[in-house]
Structure 1
Amino acid sequence: MLSAKSLFQEILDDDDSFALFCSIAAGGESQGGWENARIAALVPESQRGLAPKITRHGADEDKHGRIFEALMRKRGVRPVPVPPETDYTVLLERSGIGLAHDRLRRDEPLTVQDIVVYLAHSRVTEQRASEQMELLRKHFADHPELGRAVTMISRDEDDHLAYCHEELLRLAHAGHGRVIQRTLRACALTEIRVHRDVSLAVMARMGDILGWSRARGALLAAGIHAVYVYERLGGWRRMVSLRMPERRNALGGPASSASEFA
């Protein structure tokens, strides 16, 4: 029976597919760490209170990248190059989502509008990350190799999502509500398309590594397209709603250590 758990289990059991999975994840997390570090350094004076939280966000992302690298070391496999068509963060940037890297490399303070764009982009992508890590935690929290890692990362992603809700609501109350909703909608509609394309590319690569039949590949591709249709017809709305989280100030402290995975 083809299920999310059996699919992930097959990927995790093979060294080559495991290396690709972890390399893609590590690359995306490390990129997120760099982006947040630059944003924290360029926060406008009126939003300086956000800088420690953005720094913490970036530190968490860096930590996640190190965790995935540690998982590969423990398995005894080497990181592999990330195929361009599977690079979620790069493809989002090329689609105009978030703050362009050229902008972040300049030592010019960001604007409040830039902070809105950053938080809206993060709110959408952290929704995806939170859901994906919750799925992994549901099926692999007790896994001897992955359990602690997926539990820690899932908890962090939930905190990141809570932080985005809280800060966007703060800015909405300050008069930026319409811009926030417009930006969230544009981010969500682009993200679901990029996620579909990346998912198709990742599954194609995994299929080549694991020797999946054409029929199985077609079935998985059909499932990915079905998810996209659902999201395009209305599922994207879960990515743009805002509500005050139960846990306030979720990024108000230092990042937890990843030393146990080293």
Structure 2
Amino acid sequence: MLSARSLFEEIVGNDDSFRLFCSIAASGEAQGGWENGRIAALLPASMAALAPKVARHGTDEDKHGRIFQALMRKRGLTPAPVPVETDYTALLERRGIGLTHDKLRREEPLTELDIITYLSHSRVTEERASGQMLMLTKYFGDHPELGRAVRMISDDEDNHLAYCHEELLRLARAGHGRTIQRILRECARAEIVVYRDVSLAVMAHMGRILKWSGSKSAALAAGIWAVYCYERVAGWRRMVSLRMPERRNALGGPATPEPEFA
């Protein structure tokens, strides 16, 4: 029976597919770490109080990248080249979502609108990350090789999502509510397209590595398209809602140390 659990177990159980999975994840986390680090350094003076939280966000993302690298090293694997069609962050940037790398490479302070854009983009992408890590924790939380890593990353992603909710609500109360909602909708609608395309590309690569049958690959692609259709009609709304999180000031303290294997 084809299920999400059996699919991930198959990917994790093969060194080549596991290598590609970890390489894609590590690359994305490293990009997120760099982006948040640059944003923390370029915050406008009016938002300087956010700097420790943005920097903590970047530190967490860097840590996640190192954890995925460590998981490969434990198996004696080296990182694989990341196919361009699986680069979630770059594809979002290409669609004009978030802050461009060109802007972040400059030594010019960002504007308040830039930070609202960053937080809105993060709120949408962290919703996706939190959901994915919750699923991996469900399937692999007790796994002897992966359990500690996925639990730690999942907890961090929940903190990141809570931070985005809290900061965006604060900015909404300061009069930016309409701008926030507009940017959230733009980000969500673009993200579900990029997520669909990346998912199809990743599954195509995994299918070639694992020698899936045509019918299995077609069934997985149909499932990805079904998720996309649901999100396009109604599911995107969960990405644009804002609510005060149970975890308050989620990024206000020191980062959690990495597991010793990392």
Q: TM-score, normalised by structure 2?
A: 0.99
Residue in structure 2 matched with residue 77 of structure 1 by the alignment: 77
Q: Identical aligned pairs, as a percentage?
A: 75
User: What amino acid does structure 1 have at the position aligned with 2:257?
Assistant: S
Match status 1:119 vs 2:119: yes
Give the 4+ runs in structure 1 shifted more than 3 A. none
Give the Å deviation of 1:260.
1.2
CA distance in structure 1 between the partners assigned to 2:75 and 2:92 by the alignment: 30
Residue in structure 2 matched with residue 137 of structure 1 by the alignment: 137
Q: How does 1:191-206 map to 2 (within 5 A)?
A: 191-206=191-206
Residue in structure 2 matched with residue 219 of structure 1 by the alignment: 219
Residue in structure 2 matched with residue 189 of structure 1 by the alignment: 189
* Structure 2 gap ranges (5+): none
CA distance in structure 2 between the partners assigned to 1:68 and 1:247 by the alignment: 26
> What's the CA shift string for 1:72-95, capped at 9, x where partnerless?
000111110000000101111111
User: What amino acid does structure 1 have at the position aligned with 2:14?
Assistant: D
Residue in structure 1 matched with residue 233 of structure 2 by the alignment: 233
User: What amino acid does structure 1 have at the position aligned with 2:48?
Assistant: R
User: What amino acid does structure 1 have at the position aligned with 2:116?
Assistant: V
CA distance in structure 2 between the partners assigned to 1:187 and 1:242 by the alignment: 14
Aligned-CA RMSD value: 0.5
CA distance in structure 2 between the partners assigned to 1:189 and 1:87 by the alignment: 18
> What's the CA shift string for 1:143-164, capped at 9, x where partnerless?
0100000000000000000000
User: Aligned residues, how many?
Assistant: 262
Residue in structure 2 matched with residue 210 of structure 1 by the alignment: 210
Residue in structure 2 matched with residue 3 of structure 1 by the alignment: 3
User: What amino acid does structure 1 have at the position aligned with 2:102?
Assistant: D
User: What amino acid does structure 2 have at the position aligned with 1:210?
Assistant: L
CA distance in structure 2 between the partners assigned to 1:20 and 1:186 by the alignment: 30
> What's the CA shift string for 1:27-79, capped at 9, x where partnerless?
00000000000000000001011000000000000000000000000011111
* SS of corresponding position for 1:260: coil
Residue in structure 2 matched with residue 171 of structure 1 by the alignment: 171
* Structure 1 gap ranges (5+): none
Q: TM-score, normalised by structure 1?
A: 0.99
Give the Å deviation of 1:127.
0.1
Match status 1:97 vs 2:97: yes
Give the Å deviation of 1:261.
2.4
